[in-house]
Copies of this chain bind each other. A is one copy, B any other.
Amino acid sequence: MTKQKNDIFIQGPIPQSLIADVIAEHGSKSDIGAHSVFLGQIRADQVGGKSVQAIEYSINSELALQKMAEIRKAIFDNYPVNCMHVYHSEGMVQVGEICFFVFTSSAHRRAAIGACDELVERIKKEMPIWGKELFEDNTHQWKTNR
């Protein structure tokens, strides 16, 4: 039930159909009682009078896959989760589109919620991914996470 390592990165936005499919495909599992989902979406942040139009994500893929395997193992060791899916965009994602999708399932709600929250925090903090915020006048700035 654990997904393959090389499924993490999606070129461009995470399609709504992928999100719907991942949620729907767990319905057949009779030992699951809770799903927790996090979605990150591109926001039109205002910076000095200019508005973010898109973010272009670049990734150190080798290091990222290695780090993701480490995070995945830690989550499975710490939470009784049945399933865990993580997708992150690579390349260009426009305002309003989804760039980050985390999905966890478990028998009882606390494991799914705790695992999802920890995945979101660790991925944002530990994954070698960089976002370049693009403005309408073709200037850009590099995103910094809070």
Q: Which of A3-11, A18-26, A56-64, A133-141 sits within the interface?
A: A18-26
- Closest residue of chain B to A36 (Cβ to Cβ) is B38
Copies of this chain, whole number: 2
Partner of A41, one of B19, B27, B43: B27
Known A38-B35, A38-B113, A146-B108: A30·B16 in contact at CB below 8 Å: no
- Closest residue of chain B to A98 (Cβ to Cβ) is B27
Q: Is A75 among interface residues, defined by CB-CB distance under 8 A? A: no
Is A28 within 8 A of B109, CB to CB? Answer: no
Q: Is A129 among interface residues, defined by CB-CB distance under 8 A? A: no
Which B residues lie within 8 Å of A28 (CB)?
A: 96
Could you tell me the distance between the alpha carbons of A26 and B40 in the complex, rounded to whole angstroms?
12
Is B120 within 8 A of A109, CB to CB? Answer: yes
Can you name 20 A-B pairs with beta carbons within 8 Å? Answer: A16-B27, A19-B23, A20-B20, A28-B96, A29-B96, A30-B95, A32-B43, A34-B39, A35-B38, A35-B39, A35-B41, A36-B37, A36-B38, A36-B39, A37-B37, A37-B39, A38-B113, A108-B146, A109-B120, A113-B120
